[in-house]
Structure formats: structure tokens, C-alpha cells
Structure 1
């Protein structure tokens, strides 16, 4: 029998950021295979051209070698080389029935984990072994829950098909779209996604979540001409100045009466020395809105500002979409079903259809839910509460591990109720 807490701690020690989840995904394939699942992974599980924000080749290669060093199965890993780290486990029941899917994200964050003695993973000896990477958003727990569910359903005592989707690169909303584009959601009748924490306390459960924002993440490069800043400044074309012009005007975009918006230039890099006109500058930008249409308009304005800023300073530029998400619209009957099942579990003392406050983040599971709904199916995004000593994406983030077996039991109850 799988030890869900031990699994979570193992994944926590080896945190891998988006599209480098080689060790994690390899372990998932091994366990699903041992449980009798048909397993789809590598290039068969996602569309390579639809991946967003793919790390540089040298980063992928380094992570691949690291995973081999840390116990990943070489035969499995070969099919994932180049960042093909999605895993789909499929199991057919004893009789015909619907296809029910659950999604679990696997990736970590580029954060240095705390070494303070009061940080639980440090105190218990399962702090990150990969300095600079950390599971600071509970995806280690999500992956362990998914495998626990896989084991519970391995008796095939249900009617229909279970599909377990282990997704890379949720952070930065990058990975789900490529799985959707590969057609992995096209046969799904019911889709259940979830997240641990998000400010909801231990013992509380929400059958649905609302308020997720549409978002677009952009990587922008400005290309100019370097020159001596003192001797011949007029011969240079200052890429950093063009990027700075764009930054100021992006943050001056007006608000919208038709829906709240967010815009942020999170990174601005350029230049090599005080006496050299910068030849290159890089900018990372995100837009968000409660409305998909408004977000598209903000994105259009951002791109226009970038183009005109580049033209003003006689620069070349390029823009790449490195992540995106759309709002989530949960189906109320699945929300209600999930709440009814949660009420049967002793650990959940407060069960609500939706929480008191909306999320203001973004989730690329939105593309999966949208595809299922477009094909006549239904989906929801659930919140499973757990106390956290620090916010998500913080060096001292952690979860209360007792929530893990409760979550497995909840998802099993949901699966068996819908697989009829």
C-alpha cells in the first residue's frame, strides 16, 4: 500500500520546475504501471509545439541528467527528453460507462527553501535537495494524492474509464494547453481539478472556485545597436531605453469599466556596462482580467505599445506568449456532488459550494475544463483547505499532511459516484 505522506515528502525533496519534472514524472509512470494502468507519456501525452515558456535546451539537458542521477528510470526518461513531462494514466472499469478525469499538477517553483529550524520540512529532513527550487505551492501534495487515488481505483470495481492527468508547468500557466491540444481531454465526460490551501483552513472544502482571471504572459526582446556611450552615442540604438519606454506606457494603460484588470512588467533586463549603449533588453509582462475579452484587449494594447516603443527608438523587437489562462466556470451539479461526498468524510467539518472570497490568480486547468464543456461534458475546480505557515510561493510554505489521506478518500468517493 502506498504511503501518501512518504510520497509527498519524496517529491518535496526533488522539486522540478515546469517541463523539467523528469524524476517526478518518471516515478508517476512507474507507480501507475505497477497498478495496472495504461500509461501515456512523453510526446504521446502533449503537443510539443503548444508548450509555452519552454526552458532553454541546456536547462532541460541539465535537469534530465540530474533526474538520472537521482533515481529516475532511464527507459522512461528517454521518452521525456526535451521537456515532454506530461503523464496520463488510464484504467477501464468492469463495465462500460463515462470517462471521468482528475488533474494533478507536478511542478515546483524557482524559490530557495527556508533552512530555519521551525520550517517543518527542514526539521523533519525532507527539505529540497535542489537549491533554488522548492515545492512552495503544494504540487508535491497534489501528485501524491493523484497516485493515492490511482491505487484506490486499481480494483477496477467501477463502470466506465478513469483518466488521471499529471500535468507539467502549471506555474506560469504553461502546461495544460499542450495537453488539451493533444486531444487528451476530448473523450472526458467529467473533469475534477483541485488545489490544496489557497487561504482555506484545514477541515474546510469548497466544491467549486470562482474568480480565476484570464491571463497572458509575454516574453519581449528588444534588439538595438551597441556603441560607445561617450565617444559615439548617436551611433547606438538603446534597447534598454526602448524597453523602459514600453514599461512606463504599459503601466499607464487605462482601467476598464467592463471588468477589472491587472498588468505588470515583472522583469526588465538589459545592458552590460555603464559606457556601452545596450544592444539587447528583455522584458517579461503579464496581463490579467476577470473577462477573457477584456484581457485580450489589454494584451492587444500592450503589444501595440511594445511595437511603437521599439519603432520610436529604431529597434527590432519580438514577442512570445509564454503562458496563458482563461476564466473557470464550474458546473454547479459537479460542485454540489463534490460537497455531498466531502460531508461523508470526518476530516471535513465545513463544506461549501463556493468560498467566501474569490481567487484572483490564474489557472491553466481552465483550458481543460473549457474543452470538456465545449464537448458537452462538465467540470469543476475544488479547493481543499489546509493550514499553511506562510503564503503560497514563500520560502516557508508548507501544508498540513493529514489533509492528504482525506483528499484521496474524497476523490475516490467522487470517482466511484460518477463512474456508474
Structure 2
């Protein structure tokens, strides 16, 4: 196992140095695909496993081409790069044992964040020489670890193939940040035949050497890009000729934060960014806002989103400007299948590396688009859960000093592998 642990750390540190944000994971995906292919998995990649119509918040064609060139120069595997050249960077790797049995799927996300990594002497990746080589981008949420764990699980599956039955799918997902990538993969029907689905995360507040088998506390969410377009005019000479997009945006910001809460559960609303205007003496003809809604259930989130639409259109009418609302990310609420979680819980309890295993934690928190996969599997009669491997964090998720304990990687892989063996006997 020492050799596998060394590989896990090597993979994680390599991915950490070359972070790629959503739909840009070309270098990462090409390396993952090359390893999985050499191991003997059947691969489907790119548009084969992603619905173009369901991709949200995808970078422009120009940005995508530029990043493709960057990937070519920074360690991407040329023989596997082409399927990802247009920014459809998902992978589904299948191991068919040739024996009758269940179909099990595991999801691992690959994307990084637009964060400048710390160069502090106290920051472990900086001291060890594997901090981000890409200015303004870093793996600040552990997805480099998740990708490595997926490759580690793939390695154990192949090494023990003769003991297994059924099929195992390993899903390497782009663009989890901003909840953008899973919907497109789910819409491509990659989990329609899956009996058991497991998504994983590292950290998220779970202490080192602890494990949560079912995290159902994710809030449904919508990420919205909103624009107002009016008419520019001289603010001193002819203000009456202008249609002020800035005022429409400002009015909507205040009203959005005043949306009534819902009696059915928790709600959230946040305007995270507002940009408007071109100069102090010009009636602003354009304004843009980045907004997110959240709800304890998908239905509650839909309620908040509907209120946002009403507020935004009302402000547009009031100031006689045009408006547009684009959904650039979305995730559902979901409840884990506790019988499947129970299997993972027992596997963790049997692990010498886990001190405390918890069956369920429903504390409301952030959002996760793995819920698209989970809902799809459950809708078709299958079971799904979202588990968390605890680790010691140097700083919180989405922080410039984020880092994990690398001794979490191998135990996590072993527990996932044990879950395969137990599920196959169900």
C-alpha cells in the first residue's frame, strides 16, 4: 500500500500545481484519461458524456481555445487531449467484470478556483514546492485530492478485478464550483443504469480521522447573471434622455435582499457583485449583477428564484430599461439513501484509520451539484449517498491557505474500495 499512497500524493501534488477552473480541466482530464486507459477501463469522454444544451456558465470559445493551447504546453497528454478541446471535460470510465452484478458509480470532481494561492512560509504546498503555477488559480477546495482518490480507486479495482462482479463507473466531473457541470453529465444519461451512486468530498468541517456516510444538508441553489441595458446621456446637459441601468440595478439589489423568507425551510439570497456605469457625468446605460439563491429544498429555491425574477423585471419596468437573467449554475436538494450510507458507515467503522464514523449529518450548509446524479439514480429506483472524509485543514475551503492532510488519501481510497466489495454482495 505504500506504493499506492506515494502515487496518490504524487498525483495530488501534480494536479495542485496546475489548477484548472470549470470546463477548462483539459490537462487534468487528459492525464486522468491516460491513466485510466492504461489500467484497462473503457472510456467515454467529452461530448459523449456531456449534454451541450445543459452546460451552464461555460467559458467563451476564445477563452477555451486559449486554454487548450496552455494545456498543450503544460503537461497535457496529447493522445487524450482532443476530446476535451471544446471545454467538455467530463470522463466516464467503466470496468465491466463480465460477471452478473450491480452497477456502481463513484463521482470525483476535478476543477479549481479563481483564488491566488498563499506564498506564506507557513503554507505547506509553498514550502514543499508544489503550490499553484497558475497565477490567480488554485485548488482551494480539495478537488485535486478527489481526482487522485478516483485514480487510486481505479488502481485497486484493476488489481482486484477477479474478485469483483458487475460494473463500476468512475465519473470524473468538471465544473462543480458554481454548480455547473453535473447537470450536463446527468442529462447525457450516464447514470440512468446505475444501481448505487456515491459522491465524495474531503474536509468540509469533518475532523481528521472521522467520516460521515450521508451528508444531506446541501441547499438547492441557482446562480444568476443579471444585466440591465438602458440609454446613455449627458448627466448635466440632457439627463432626461437617459434610461438609467445603474438605478434599476441598485433598486433591485435592495429589494432582492428583502425577499420574504419561506415557512417551509431555510432560504438564502446574495448579490455578490454589481458593476455599472462608465463615468460620473454619464447616465449609466449598462449594469450587471451576479446573484445566487438557495433553499432548503428545490421547491423553496424555486420560490426564491421566482421572486428574483419578479423583482428584477419590476425594476426594469420602473426605470424603463431592458433586462436579462441567465442561469449559469444550479443544484438540487437531495436526501441520501441511508441503507447505502449504512454500508459506507460500516466500512469506515472497520477501518483502522477512522476513529469516528457517523451515519448521517443533515446540517444545512453549501450546495453541491452531485445532487443531479443522486436524484436521477433515485428516480430510477437506485440508491445514492454523499460521503465526507474528514481531514485537518490548514484553512477553510475557498481560502488562499487551504490545504489538507495527505494521510487522508489512502484510507479514503481503501474505504471506497471496501464499499465496492460489500455492495456487490447485496
| TM-score bracket relative to the smaller structure | over 0.9
360, 368, 376: which one aligns with 1:371: 376
The equivalent residue for 1:413 is 418
The reply to whether residue 8 of structure 1 matches residue 12 of structure 2 is yes
Alpha-carbon deviations, 1:309-352, whole Å to 9, x = none?
11111111111111111112111111111011112211101011
Structure 2 distance, partners of 1:75, 1:279, is 48
Q: Deviations over 1:179-213 (max 9, x none)?
A: 00000010100001111001111110111112210
- Asked whether 1:395 is paired with 2:372, we answer no
CA distance, structure 2, for counterparts of residue 414 and residue 387 of structure 1: 24
Asked if the contact 1:209–1:359 (Cα under 8 Å) also holds between the matched residues in 2, the reply is: no
Question: Hey, what's the Cα distance between the residues in 2 that align with 1:247 and 1:4?
Answer: 46
Structure 1, residues 240-275: CA drift from partner, whole Å, max 9, x if none?
111111111111111122211100011111212112
Kept in 1: contact 2:92–2:170 (CA 8 A): yes
Q: Is 2:297 aligned against 1:287?
A: no
d(CA) in 1 for partners of 2:349, 2:299: 37
Out of 130, 136, 139, the position equivalent to 2:134 is 130
* Alignment CA distance shift 1:359-1:194 (3 Å): farther
Question: How far apart are the structure 2 equivalents of 1:373 and 1:393?
Answer: 30
Q: 1:76: how far off?
A: 2.3
- 1:93-146 per-residue CA deviation (whole Å, 9 max, x = no partner) reads 141111000000000000000000100000000000001001000000000000
Match of 1:214 among 211, 217, 220: 220
Question: What is the distance in 1 between the residues matched to 2:313 and 2:86?
Answer: 32
Equivalent in the alignment of 2:187: 181
3-state SS, counterpart of residue 386 of structure 1 = coil
Q: State yes or no: 1:235 paired with 2:237.
A: no
1:349-398, Cα deviation, whole Å (9 max, x unpaired): 1011024x614110000010000000010000001100101110000000
For residue 345 of structure 2, what is the aligned residue in structure 1?
A: 339
- Total equivalences in the alignment: 419
CA-CA distance at 1:419 after TM superposition: 2.5
Q: Aligned partners of 1:74, 1:219: CA distance in 2, in Å?
A: 35
Partner of 2:208: 202
**Correspondence for 2:327 among 321, 325, 330:** 321
Distance 2:167 2:283 in 1: 61
Given that 1:161 and 1:419 are in contact with CA atoms closer than 8 Å, whether structure 2 keeps it comes out as no
Does residue 143 of structure 1 match 2:153? no
Q: CA deviation at 1:238?
A: 1.3
Aligned residue for 2:385? 380
In the TM superposition, 1:38-53 aligns within 5 A as 38-53=42-57
Unaligned 5+ runs, structure 1? none
**2:231 alignment partner in structure 1:** 225
Which stretch of the first structure deviates more once superposed, 142-151 or 338-347?
338-347
User: Which residue of the other structure, out of 259, 263, 266, is the alignment partner of 1:253?
Assistant: 259
* Match 2:278 to one of 272, 278, 282: 272
Contact kept in structure 1, 2:210 and 2:389, CA below 8 Å: yes
Once residues 94 and 184 of structure 1 are traced to their aligned partners in structure 2, the CA distance between those partners, rounded to angstroms, is 19
Q: TM-score, normalised by structure 2?
A: 0.96
Indicate conservation of the 8 Å contact 1:271/1:279, yes or no. yes
Mapped pair 1:160 → 2:154? no
How far apart, CA to CA, are the structure 1 residues paired with 2:112 and 2:132? Answer: 10
> How far apart, in 2, do the equivalents of 1:178 and 1:246 lie?
31
Question: Does 2:341 align with 1:362?
Answer: no
> Mapping of 1:3-42 within 5 angstroms?
3-42=7-46
Q: Which runs of 4+ in 1 moved over 3 A?
A: none
RMSD: 1.1
Q: CA deviation at 1:56?
A: 2.2
Residue segments in structure 2 that go unaligned for 5+ positions in a row: none
Secondary structure of the 2:190 match is: coil
- Report the alpha carbon displacement of residue 417 of structure 1 after superposing the two structures with TM: 1.5
Structure 2 distance, partners of 1:276, 1:174, is: 36
